[in-house]
């Protein structure tokens, strides 16, 4: 179970004055040596980008990336407390804490895991249908330059996804795999892992093509869960925290520790198997066949032509 680490992360990130160094200090105290905090400021706004690496038994093996995606953990002074949008950061921090605790107890994963997120307790909100959402402190592509590392061979992007009517069930859903403008099928092993950690049939969040294009094009997106795919050739799977009702990203009191525990345990189980070469995100032969038959769709990672 990772519920202890989830609760620790919730309590830590609920503080009005939490910042990246506060989180980094906790991670270092648990044995995570490779932790960096980068504060970025622009036009009176700032956030702390947090990055850490759990090296595994073979630090040179392909690394799994876990990206905690969010606009902010809080929307102060407009609202008081931890917002629904904080889920990505909570899972990222909880995953790092759990992997560190496992390593300290002798369970070291086969390969490295790179965990990135950002800590912003005073983010803004923005209009969105059907409910308002949180707004990232900076343009999305700039955010991605800090949240996605070139050595991430595959990425789990964790994000609150309650502001839509596509998955009308509380829990955790997965997205199809996104890679270089393509939407690919989810591997059976990943569906197995979600079923095992949740004890329920796996649920898939449907995506449209525009959901995997950059925010800068001004088109509607379900949320920012797939934005890591705009800056990498690595395959990306979204890990979406869902609800039966539509919940604004800026709503407080919406954090559910049990759902976050499922998401955290899923990330850890994928990390175990990915590092051991037992959980590929896509089929290389199918990928080659798609490229040969239909060509590249990498232009969907750009803003495209102006209307």
Which helix H or strand E contains 90, and what residues bound it? helix 87-104
Q: Which of 34, 42, 91 is nearest to 256 (CA)?
A: 91
Q: Which two tokens stand for residue 16?
A: 């009005």
Q: What is the CATH number of domain 3-301?
A: 3.40.630.10
28 alpha-carbon distance from chain centroid? 21
**pLDDT of 55:** 96
pTM above threshold 0.75: yes
Q: What single string gives the DSSP state of each residue in 100-145? A: HHHHHTT---SS-EEEEEEE-TB-EEE--SSS-EEE-SS-HHHHHH
Instruction: Answer for the pair 235, 153: CB distance below 8 angstroms, yes or no.
Output: no
Structural domain boundaries of the chain?
A: 3-301
Which contiguous run of DSSP H or E holds residue 174? strand 171-174
Residue 82 is predicted with a pLDDT of: 97
Q: Which residue has the tokens 């061979």?
A: 153
pLDDT of res. 128: 80
pLDDT digits (tens, 9 = 90+) for 38-93: 999 988 889 999 999 999 999 999 999 999 999 999 999 989 999 999 999 999 99
Bridge partners (DSSP) of residue 126 are 133
Residues 6+ positions from 96 with CB-CB distance below 8 Å? 27, 32, 52, 54, 115
Distance CA 245, CA 156 (A): 24
**DSSP code for 72:** -
**Contact by Cβ (8 Å): 115, 90:** no
Predicted pLDDT at 175: 98
Q: Is 177 exposed, middle or buried (0-12, 13-18, 19+ CB in 10 A)?
A: buried
Give the per-residue pLDDT at 187. 97
Q: Name the one residue in this structure whose structure tokens are 């947090």.
A: 50
Q: How many helices (H) and strands (E) does the chain have?
A: 7, 12
pLDDT in tens, the chain (307 residues): 899 999 999 999 999 999 999 999 999 999 999 999 999 998 888 999 999 999 999 999 999 999 999 999 999 998 999 999 999 999 999 999 999 999 999 999 999 999 999 999 999 888 888 877 788 889 999 999 999 999 999 999 999 999 999 999 999 999 999 999 999 999 999 999 999 999 999 999 999 999 999 999 999 999 999 999 999 999 999 999 999 999 999 999 999 999 999 999 999 999 999 999 999 999 999 999 999 999 999 999 999 987 6
């Amino acid at each position: 179970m990772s519920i202890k680490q989830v609760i620790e992360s919730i309590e830590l990130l609920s503080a009005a004055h939490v910042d990246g160094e506060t989180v980094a200090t906790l991670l270092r105290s648990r044995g995570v040596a490779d932790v960096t905090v980068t504060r970025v400021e622009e036009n009176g706004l700032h956030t702390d980008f947090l990055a850490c690496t759990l090296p595994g038994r073979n630090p040179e093996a392909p690394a799994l990336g876990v990206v905690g995606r969010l606009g902010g953990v809080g929307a102060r002074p407009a609202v008081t407390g931890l917002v629904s949008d904080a889920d990505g950061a909570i899972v990222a921090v909880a995953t790092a804490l759990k992997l560190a605790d496992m390593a300290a107890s002798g369970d070291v994963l086969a390969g490295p895991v790179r965990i990135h997120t950002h800590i912003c307790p005073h983010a803004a909100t923005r209009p969105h249908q059907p409910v308002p959402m949180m707004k990232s402190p900076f343009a999305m592509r700039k955010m991605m330059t800090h949240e996605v590392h070139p050595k991430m061979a595959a990425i789990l992007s964790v994000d609150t996804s309650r502001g839509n009517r596509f998955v009308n069930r509380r829990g955790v859903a997965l997205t199809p795999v996104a890679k270089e403008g393509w939407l690919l099928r989810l591997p059976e092993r990943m569906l197995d892992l979600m079923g095992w950690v949740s004890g329920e049939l796996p649920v898939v969040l449907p995506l449209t093509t525009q959901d995997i294009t950059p925010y800068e094009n001004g088109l509607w997106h379900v949320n920012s869960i797939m934005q890591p795919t705009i800056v990498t050739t690595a395959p990306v799977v979204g890990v979406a925290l869902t609800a039966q009702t539509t919940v604004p990203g800026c709503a407080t009191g919406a954090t559910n520790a049990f759902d976050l525990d499922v998401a955290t345990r899923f990330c850890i189980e994928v990390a175990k198997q990915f590092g051991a070469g037992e959980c590929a995100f896509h089929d290389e032969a199918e990928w080659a066949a798609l490229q040969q038959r239909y060509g590249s769709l990498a232009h969907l990672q750009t803003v495209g032509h102006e209307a």
